[in-house]
Amino acid sequence: MRGRTRGPAEGIRAHYGGSLAHLVLVLCSFALACYAGLRLLRGDTLGIVIWFVGAALLHDLVLLPLYTVTDRLAQRLFRDRRGKKPRSRDTAGGSRPVTGRVNYIRVPAFLALLLLLVWYPLVLGRVPGFTAYTGLPADVFWGRWLLITVAFFAASAACLLVTMWRARPRRDRAGR
C-alpha cells in the first residue's frame, strides 16, 4: 500500500521489515511516550508500571480467558440439555441452530456483568468515603444492580417465551 519506496529505502526495508515512514512514525510515537512516560512514572514508579502493564495483562490473560471459558461452559450446558431430547434436529442442518437459545442467557448476563464491571466499586460497596464525601447514601447500588439484573433476565425470559410460543403453532400445523 505504501511500498513505493525505491533505492536506498530498499535497504531499510530489508533490515527493518517495513518502510522508512513506518520506522520514523513509530520512533516519534516512542519519543512522545518516553517524554510523557518519564513524567507518568514519577512517584510510585513500580506501582504505575504494574498498573499500566498489568491492565493489559489482566485483561488479556485473565478477564478474556475467564469470560471465554464461562461462555463455552454456558454453551455446553445448553447443548447437553437439548441433546437429550430431539437430537435429530440438531443435526438437521438447515433449521435454526439450537444453540441460538444460549443467547437468552448470554445477553442478559453480559449486560449485567458489564454494569458490574464498570460500577463495581459502588455496587460492591468498595468506596468507604462515598457518603462522607457526597452526602449520598452508598448502600443503594447493590440493590439497584440486582433489580436491573433481574429485569434483564426477566425480559430475556419473556422474549424466549414469545419465541417458543410463536414457533410452536407452526410446528403443530405442519404436524397435522
Partner 1 sequence: MITLGVLRPICRIRWLCVAVTVRWPPEGMDVEGSDRGDEPRRPEPHTPDGNAGGSPSERDGQTGKGRPDPDRQKGSGPPPRAGAAKRPADGPTGRPPKSAQATPAQRPAGAPGRPTARWSSPPPGPARPGFWRSPLRGPWLTSVFGLVLLLGITVLFVTGLLSYAAYNPNLAPGNDHTPEKGWLGFYLFPWPTRPYWLYRLTQGVHVTLGVVLIPVLLAKLWSVIPRLFAWPPLRSPRHALERLSLLLLVGGVLFEFVTGVLNIQLHYIFPGSFYPLHFYGAWVFIGAFVVHVVFRIPTMATALRSRRWRTELRTPAARTRPEPPDDTGLVTPDPAPPTMSRRGALGMVGAGSLVLLVVTAGQSIGGALRRTALLAPHGREPGTGPNGFQINKTAAAVGIRARDIGPDWRLVVRGPGQERSFTREQVLALPQHMAALPIACVEGWSTDDQIWSGVRLHDLAALVGLRESPPGVFVESAQRSGSFNSAHLRDNQVRDPRALLALRVNGADLSVDHGYPARIIVPANPGVHNTKWVTRLTFGAPR
Residues 29-58 that bind partner 1 (CB under 8 A): 29-33, 35-37, 39-40, 42-44, 47-48, 50-53, 55-57
Q: Per-residue x/- marks for partner 1, 104-143, CB under 8 A?
A: --xx--xx--xx-xxx-xxx--xx-xx-xxxxxx--xx--
* 97 makes contact with partner 1 (CB under 8 A): yes
The Cα 160–Cα 111 span in angstroms is 17
Closer by beta carbon to partner 1, 94 or else 176: 94
* 164 makes contact with partner 1 (CB under 8 A): no
Binding residue (CB under 8 A) for partner 1 from 6, 7, 14, 80: 14
Choose the stretch contacting partner 1; rule: CB under 8 A; options: 22-30, 81-89, 164-172: 22-30
Q: Which residues contact 131 (CB under 8 A, 6 or more apart)?
A: 137, 138
CB of 150 to partner 1, least distance (A): 13
The Cα 44–Cα 56 span in angstroms is 19
CB atoms within 10 A of CB 78: 19
Q: Which three cell numbers stand for residue 76?
A: 455446553
Binding residue (CB under 8 A) for partner 1 from 7, 8, 15, 172: 15
Closest CA to 145 of 123, 121, 174: 123
CB atoms within 10 A of CB 165: 9
Closer by beta carbon to partner 1, 86 or else 176: 86
DSSP letter at 102 equals: G
- DSSP-based three-state secondary structure for 168: helix
* 163 makes contact with partner 1 (CB under 8 A): no
